[in-house]
């Protein structure tokens, strides 16, 4: 690709306030110099004396001043030739001037320039200054007034964007998926020739610091295309309509530079569900979001513009953004596992002098749950510590201290788990997995992981399209509840106590059971009746309570029925898991070691076990 320098964007016509102010100042001083060649400032009484003494040649009377010239014989130097004095209300003056034969004239003062300056230019200048200041404080657009509403998308030249996939480690699955995007950008014809449609939007989803931004840049670097980058929060501005016009502008600019990537970081800042605020809402954000949707629909991907976006809160995104033709590809950027962490450490310790006693593998083992940014931080902190201690290289002691520091910061965020918790979580997750692998209708287990991460639930939420819920059979629903309860039951079986970790599962399980009773008519006692329409108006759901169209008694019956469903499923699931207790323990042990078990491996572990037994037990 050609060198796309930052120039085109930076050189937008700038119209700084300073130019106006300087011009005004120069004009003002010039005008006073040109119009008032003031030389001698004298008092009015002195002036009257001069008049009486007959020493004045001529004078000009204006509304506020009297300027005059002395008679030739009276002034000794050029300096003394002219004078000026403030005018005093003096009805006698004209008579005296006439008596002395002084030439005098009134003067229409030509002050429009000053007036114009004072009345218009300066106030406007001050206004602009304040405006600018306010914007700066708000982190809005900086400075240029004329580029107001233009996108602040930074365009990176190819050379500036030195990142490649080699700089990203530990998130191989995401990398693999994005490899395809690189292909699209590099050789679009290969795909379009066969009539395929290149995806428009790719949404990177993952916890903060997992390398989403880095990954997007690496894609641009790999594909060697320009990279427009803007953060969602930069879109949200003070005035309605500005965000929207920025979106329009950015897509316009990108179209000219195709093939290229538009990267919207922190999409959740503009992409929050519309109408989620019952009081007034946020028009500006909604307009920006609408414009984004319009632009995404409007352009043809075969031109080679691919929109990438990143968020760590996908659950808050407006569903419209995730529809086909928009961000239809979602790439989960996971926290790295043991090997991944080691690979990331290798990358970040490249430029750092490490002592021989430093073993990156053992650092990786010490840092479960750490993301790429944390690991980069550890290496950096350790290097700083070593420098402070005047050491030649970074030793294990610095690294350990750095880990402690970073961990202290992280523990506040409750991301890390200690050993005992790790055991509980492992058994809990294996409980889910075992139940899911045993039940016929349950979704296949793709992966079990005890790497803590905030967005694990995401995949689940996104894989549950609204329409499908009406198509599920009773068995599928109870199986789903069973899988959800599996985690808690496993904890009970192994530890004889339960943790709070299962709360979310229980909420979901009760929710499904409640739906079965209330909406799908799946309860024996209440029969085939639907209580309450499922689609509440967005305004009714929030705090105002929904309109119940059934009695308190029915409500109690619903609760009883819900409990009955849960209890039934619970008993069955518990029985099922008790039988598989050895497997549960075995699986959990492997999981605690590896942190992640993939689908294939899980199958292998389960099958090994089954082969050892007879076929008769397999029926379970």
Q: Cβ closer to ligand ADP: 176 or 534? A: 176
Residue of 221, 271, 372, 431 interacting with ligand ADP (CB under 6 A): 372
Q: How many residues bind Zn ion (CB under 5 A)?
A: 2
Q: Is 208 in the site for ligand ADP (CB under 6 A)?
A: yes
Catalytic-labelled residue, pool 429, 491, 561, 595: 429
- Per-residue b or e along 423-450, where b marks 16 or more CB atoms closer than 10 Å to that residue's CB: bbbbbbbbbbbbbbbbbeebeebeebbb
Stretch that binds ligand ADP, among 204-212, 465-473, 477-485, 577-585 (CB under 6 A): 204-212
Least distance (Å) between residue 312 CB and ligand ADP: 7
- The nearer residue to ligand ADP, 168 or 242, going by C-beta atoms, is 168
Residue 487 in contact with Zn ion, rule: CB under 5 A: yes
487 binds, among Mg ion, ligand ADP, Zn ion, none (CB under 5 to 8 A by kind): Zn ion
- Give yes or no for a contact between 199 and 321, defined as CB atoms under 8 angstroms apart: no
Position 373 contacts ligand ADP (CB under 6 A): yes
Q: Which of ligand ADP, Mg ion, Zn ion, none sits in contact with 170, Cβ below 5 to 8 A by type?
A: ligand ADP
Nearest to 231 by CA among 262, 206, 266, 261: 266
Q: Known catalytic residue: 429?
A: yes
Closest CA to 531 of 549, 505, 516, 543: 549
| Contacts (Cβ under 8 Å, ≥6 apart) of 171 | 206, 210, 211, 215, 333, 334, 336, 340, 372
Q: Provide the token pair at 334.
A: 């996971």
CA pair distance 373, 403, nearest whole angstrom: 13
Nearer to Zn ion, 61 or 498 (CB): 498
Tell me which long-range contacts 361-365 makes (C-beta under 8 A, separation of at least 24).
Answer: 363/399, 363/403, 364/338, 364/339, 365/338
Site stretch for ligand ADP (CB under 6 A), options 27-35, 201-209, 394-402, 424-432: 201-209
Distance between CA atoms of 578 and 60, rounded to whole angstroms? 113
User: Cβ(516)–Cβ(522) under 8 Å?
Assistant: yes
Stretch that binds ligand ADP, among 62-70, 372-380, 469-477, 493-501 (CB under 6 A): 372-380
Q: Does residue 150 bind ligand ADP (CB under 6 A)?
A: no
Q: Which of 266, 342, 492, 505 binds Zn ion (CB under 5 A)?
A: 505
**If DSSP codes are grouped into helix, strand and coil, which group holds residue 606?**
helix
Q: Which of 48-56, 169-177, 465-473, 493-501 is the region at the interface with ligand ADP (rule: CB under 6 A)?
A: 169-177
Q: Is 213 in the site for ligand ADP (CB under 6 A)?
A: yes
**Strand ranges (DSSP E) for 90-167?**
103-106, 154-156
Q: Which of 267, 344, 472, 606 binds ligand ADP (CB under 6 A)?
A: 344
Please tell me whether residue 243 binds ligand ADP under the rule CB under 6 A: no
Between the CA of residue 193 and those of 182, 198, 258, 340, what are the distances in Å? 17, 11, 18, 37
Minimum distance, C-beta of residue 560 to Zn ion, in the bound complex (Å): 26
- By CB under 5 A, name the binding residues for Mg ion: 213
Q: Is 168 in the site for ligand ADP (CB under 6 A)?
A: yes
Report the partner that residue 505 touches, choosing among Zn ion, ligand ADP, Mg ion, none (CB closer than 5 to 8 A by kind): Zn ion
Pairwise CA distance, residues 406 & 177, whole Å: 31
β-strand 65-70 against 82-86: which pairing, if any? antiparallel
Q: Does 201 bind Zn ion (CB under 5 A)?
A: no
- Least Cβ distance, residue 379 to ligand ADP (angstroms): 10
The dihedral region occupied by 224, where left means phi > 0, alpha psi between -120 and 50, and beta the remainder, is left
Least separation in angstroms between CB 174 and ligand ADP: 9
Which listed option, Mg ion, ligand ADP, Zn ion, none, makes contact with residue 347 (CB within 5 to 8 Å by class)? ligand ADP
Taking each helix axis as running N to C, give the angle between helix 552-579 and helix 581-594, from 0 to 180 degrees, rounded to the nearest 10. Answer: 80
Is the distance from CB of 512 to CB of 566 less than 8 angstroms?
no
Active site residues per annotation: 429
């Amino acid at each position: 690709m050609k060198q796309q320098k930052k120039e085109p964007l930076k050189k937008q016509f700038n119209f700084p306030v300073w130019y106006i102010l300087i011009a005004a100042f120069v004009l003002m001083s010039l005008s006073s110099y040109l119009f008032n060649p003031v030389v001698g400032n004298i008092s009015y009484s002195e002036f009257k004396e001069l008049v009486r003494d007959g020493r004045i040649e001529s004078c000009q009377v204006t509304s506020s001043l009297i300027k005059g010239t002395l008679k030739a014989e009276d002034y000794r130097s050029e300096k003394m030739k002219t004078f000026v004095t403030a005018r005093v209300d003096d009805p006698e003056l004209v008579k005296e001037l006439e008596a002395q034969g002084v030439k005098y004239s009134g003067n229409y003062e030509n002050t429009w320039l000053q007036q114009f300056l004072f009345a218009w230019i300066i106030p406007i200048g001050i206004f602009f200054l304040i405006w600018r200041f306010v914007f700066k404080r708000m982190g809005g657009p900086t400075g240029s007034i004329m580029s107001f509403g233009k996108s602040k998308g930074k365009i990176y030249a190819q050379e500036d964007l030195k990142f490649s996939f080699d700089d990203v480690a530990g998130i191989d699955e995401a990398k693999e998926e994005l490899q395809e995007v690189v292909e699209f950008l590099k050789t679009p014809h290969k795909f379009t020739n066969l009539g395929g449609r290149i995806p428009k939007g790719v949404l990177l989803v993952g916890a903060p610091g997992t390398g989403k931004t880095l990954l997007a840049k690496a894609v641009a670097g790999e594909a060697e295309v320009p990279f427009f980058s803007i953060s969602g929060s930069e879109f949200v501005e003070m005035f309605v309509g500005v965000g929207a016009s920025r979106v329009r502008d950015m897509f316009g600019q990108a179209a000219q530079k195709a093939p290229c990537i538009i990267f919207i970081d922190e999409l959740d800042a503009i992409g929050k569900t519309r109408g989620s605020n019952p009081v007034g809402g946020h028009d500006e954000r909604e307009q920006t979001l609408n414009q984004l949707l319009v632009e995404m629909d409007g352009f043809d991907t075969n031109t080679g513009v691919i929109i990438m976006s990143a968020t760590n809160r996908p659950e808050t995104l407006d569903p419209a953004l995730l529809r086909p033709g928009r961000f239809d590809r979602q790439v989960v950027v996971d926290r790295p596992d043991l090997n991944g962490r080691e690979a990331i450490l290798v990358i970040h310790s490249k430029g750092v002098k490490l002592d021989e006693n430093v073993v990156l593998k053992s650092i990786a083992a010490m840092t479960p749950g750490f993301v790429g940014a944390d690991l980069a931080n550890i290496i950096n902190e350790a290097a700083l510590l070593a420098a402070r201690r005047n050491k030649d290289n970074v030793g294990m002691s610095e690294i350990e201290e750095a880990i402690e520091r970073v961990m202290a910061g992280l523990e506040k965020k409750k991301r890390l788990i200690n050993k005992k918790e790790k055991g509980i979580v492992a058994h809990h997750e294996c409980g889910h997995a075992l139940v899911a692998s045993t039940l016929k209708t349950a979704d296949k287990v793709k992966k079990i992981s005890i790497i803590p991460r905030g967005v694990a639930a995401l995949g689940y939420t996104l894989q549950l399209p609204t329409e499908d819920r009406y198509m599920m059979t009773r068995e599928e629903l109870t199986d789903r509840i069973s899988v959800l309860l599996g985690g808690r039951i496993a904890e009970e079986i192994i530890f004889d106590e339960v943790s709070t970790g299962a709360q979310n599962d229980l909420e979901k399980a009760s929710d499904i059971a409640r739906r079965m009773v209330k909406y799908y008519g799946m309860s024996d006692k209440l029969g085939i009746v639907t209580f309450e329409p499922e689609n509440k108006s967005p305004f009714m759901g929030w705090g105002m309570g929904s309109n119940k169209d059934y009695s308190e008694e029915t409500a109690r019956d619903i609760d009883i029925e819900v409990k009955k469903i849960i209890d039934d499923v619970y008993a069955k699931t518990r029985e099922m898991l008790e039988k598989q207790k050895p497997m549960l323990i075995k699986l959990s042990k492997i999981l605690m070691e590896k942190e992640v078990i993939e689908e294939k491996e899980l199958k292998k572990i389960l099958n090994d076990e089954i082969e050892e037994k007879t076929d008769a037990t397999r029926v379970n």
